[in-house]
Amino acid sequence: MQVNVMERTTFYLKYGKRLLDLIVASILLPIISILILVISFLLLVFSGRPIFFKQYRSGVHFEEFKIWKFRTMKCHQLGKEEKDWQEGVPDDFIFKGALDSRITTIGKLLRKWSLDELPQIINVLKGEMSLVGPRPEVPDITSFYNADQSRRLYLKPGITGLAQINGRSDISHGQKVEYDIDYVENCSFVLDIKILIRTIRVVFNGEGAY
């Protein structure tokens, strides 16, 4: 029988994880603030306005919040694709790919090193996200989650996570969900530190970034 993470009342889940988020985010904030100013200027010069991309995502227990990212795509909207998913999101579903023509030149560079995610440090400080956790998905996708897939929303979404150090955008939705549920069921201080350290290597190598 699988253990619901909400039934695990460990000190780390109750207090330590949030404390780690606040300590690390506060230490990184001065450095990240400088990078945000530099990137904002470059985007304004080479890509124009708007600089930021804002979108609602599903957080813990499907609670929606507004995520902030640097805009990496051209400013045009595509119509929503009608989905007929009766038994949850298909395992072979892939949300984005490397050949998306909407991605700008500077956007490709930002995505390669995950610099477009930097503004989410504000989401972490506000308590809407964590440094480590399942990546926040759009409600248009999570609304189709089955009971098993919904388990990835038992913890706050993260800037990085187990799926991000094991393929990022190269893996299917089914693989991502497996990694996220594995993380939710085994979340610990040691695991979070390991993921944060491995994230540095993955980002510098540009693995699976689109």
Cβ atoms of residues 139 and 58 within 8 Å: yes
Pairing of strands 158-160, 130-132: parallel
Section 91-103 average pLDDT: 70
- What pLDDT is recorded for position 90? 87
Does this model's pTM top 0.95? Answer: no
In the chain, the N- to C-terminal Cα span, in Å, equals: 37
pLDDT range class, residue 99, cuts 50, 70, 90: low
Length of the chain: 210
pLDDT digits (tens, 9 = 90+) for 123-152: 999 999 999 999 999 999 999 999 999 999
Q: Is the pLDDT of residue 117 over 90?
A: yes
* pLDDT the model gives residue 1: 39
pLDDT band at 95 (very low <50, low <70, confident <90, very high): low
Handedness of CA 149, 151, 155, 161 (dihedral sign): negative
Higher pLDDT, 87 or 179: 179
What ranges do the domains of the chain cover? Answer: 10-74+94-202
Give how far the C-alpha of residue 104 lies from the chain's centroid of Cα atoms, to the nearest Å. 20
